[in-house]
């Protein structure tokens, strides 16, 4: 249980740092937020729990394919905000788009030989 709390604390501190920096320096905060910190931390925790090269390779490969459907959200949200929609509506629309694209990737990926 202590290990889980440690993982959550470290991960949470990194997110808090990124959001705090973004208040003063939006570009720098965006750079920090765009870093694959969650993926890197996830791989570190996974490797610590199960040091298996094949499992890690499968995880990293699948992560790449799942990052792609999340990218359009970062185009949709600013577009909607600039057209006068409220933040929460724009965020919900971006999340809905991402969920739909994740579902499409999960359905289409294996049909093209992707191991997800």
Looking at the fold, whether 112 and 89 belong to one and the same domain comes out as yes
What confidence score (pLDDT) does residue 110 get?
A: 93
Looking at the fold, whether 26 and 81 belong to one and the same domain comes out as no
4-27 confidence digits (pLDDT tens)? 898 888 888 888 888 898 899 988
Query: Is pLDDT above 90 for 58?
Result: yes
Looking at the fold, whether 43 and 19 belong to one and the same domain comes out as yes
Residue 94's nearest CA partner among 80, 73, 79 is: 73
Mean pLDDT of the chain: 91
Quick count: other Cβ atoms within 10 Å of Cβ 77?
A: 20
Range(s) of the domain holding residue 66:
54-116
3-state secondary structure 95-113: HHHHHHHHHHHHHHHHHHC
Lowest mean pLDDT among 8-17, 56-65, 73-82: 8-17
Looking at the fold, whether 46 and 59 belong to one and the same domain comes out as no
More confident residue, 96 or 9: 96
Looking at the fold, whether 76 and 62 belong to one and the same domain comes out as yes
What confidence score (pLDDT) does residue 38 get?
A: 80
The arithmetic mean of pLDDT across residues 56-81, rounded, is 95
DSSP letter at 27 equals H
For residue 95, how far is the Cα from the chain centroid? Answer: 12
Looking at the fold, whether 14 and 47 belong to one and the same domain comes out as yes
The CA distance from 59 to 115, in Å, is: 9
Give 104's pLDDT tier (boundaries 50, 70, 90): very high
């Amino acid at each position: 249980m202590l290990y889980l709390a440690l993982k959550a604390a470290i991960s949470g501190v990194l997110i808090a740092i990124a959001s705090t920096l973004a208040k003063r320096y939006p570009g720098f905060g965006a750079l920090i937020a765009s870093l694959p910190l969650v993926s890197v931390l996830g791989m570190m925790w996974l490797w610590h729990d199960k040091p298996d090269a094949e499992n890690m390779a499968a995880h990293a490969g699948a992560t790449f394919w799942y990052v792609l459907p999340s990218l359009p959200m970062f185009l949709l949200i600013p577009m909607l905000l600039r057209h006068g929609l409220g933040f929460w509506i724009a965020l919900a629309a971006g999340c809905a788009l991402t969920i739909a694209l994740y579902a499409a990737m999960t359905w289409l990926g294996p049909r093209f030989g992707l191991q997800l």
